Amino acid sequence: MKLAAERVSVRFGGLVANDDVSLAIAPGEVLGLIGPNGAGKTTLVNMLSGFQRPHSGAVTLAGSDMTGRRPRAFARAGIARSFQAVRLFRGLTVSENVEVGLVACGLGRAEARRRVRTLLADFDLLHRAAQPASALSYGEERRAGLARALALEPRFLLLDEPAAGLAAAEAEDLKRAILSIRDRYGCGILVIEHNMALVMSLCDRIHVLGGGKTIASGRPDEIMADPAVRTAYLGRAAA
C-alpha cells in the first residue's frame, strides 16, 4: 500500500508549480522532499493531502484514486500533515489542542484523553498538558504539532519543514522523534526540509524537485553525488 502522485501537474496562471511529477511513499519509510525555494515542494504535499487538486495526473492511496477529494477525506483515509506554521489554538491547553481533533472525529472523551496522554508523553510534553499552548517554546510547539498530527494514528504523515527555526540540538531531538514515530506506528513519512544534514541522516530515500520538475530520486548517498542536484542548489555543475 503506497501513497502516490502519478504524473501530476499544477499551474497557477502562467506559472507551472509541478510538471509531470511522480512520487510514491511506502509504509515504514522516511522520504525526503528537497529542492530550492519555489521548486514546488509544498504544492506537491498539498496535492498528497487534498488541499490542491492537480490539473493533470492522479493521487492514489493503495491504488484507489483520491484525486479531487476534500482534505477531510484524505484525513479519514489515514493521511495526516503538518504545516510550516504550527497553527495551535493559543487559548486552549496543550492537551486540548491534541484532543480536539479526536473528539471531532467521534472518539469518546475518555479514550481521547488516554490517547492524548500517551502522545504527550512520547513527545516529552506531558508536564505541559494543562498549560495554555501560548506558554510553549518554539521547539515545544513543533512537538505539539507532531503529537496532534499523530492523534488519529495515520498511515502516512506529511511534514512541511518541521525543523524550521530549530537549533541544532532541537533538530536532533526532532530526528529521534520522527524515527520513533516510524518505528512505533509503521507509517510512511514524507519530510520537506532545508536542513540538509537532517535530511541526509534521517531519510531512506530523497526526491529532488527543481523548477517544478523531478531532477533526481534515490538514496542519500546517490543524491549527494548527483551533478544535477549540485547544479540546482549551487547554480553550476560540480567540478
Length of the chain measured in residues: 239
Q: Which CATH number fits domain 1-79+201-239: 1.20.120.530, 3.40.50.300, 3.40.50.150, 3.30.70.980?
A: 3.40.50.300
Domain extents in the chain:
1-79+201-239, 84-154
Name every residue whose Cβ is closer than 8 Å to that of residue 93 and which is 6 or more positions away in sequence: 129, 130, 131, 132, 133
Amino acid at 214: T
Per-residue cell: 12:
497557477
Average pLDDT, the chain: 89
Q: Is the dihedral of CA 39, 42, 48, 50 positive or negative?
A: negative
Share of the chain above pLDDT 90, in %: 52
Residue 85, pLDDT score: 64
DSSP H helices in 54-122: 71-76, 94-104, 109-122
HSE of 46, CA atoms in CB hemisphere, 13 A: 14
Element (H, E) at 23: strand 15-25
pLDDT digits (tens, 9 = 90+) for 153-201: 889 999 998 888 888 888 888 898 889 889 988 999 999 998 989 999 9
pLDDT digits (tens, 9 = 90+) for 103-148: 777 778 888 888 899 889 888 899 999 999 999 988 888 888 888 8
Q: What is the mean pLDDT of residues 64-69?
A: 94
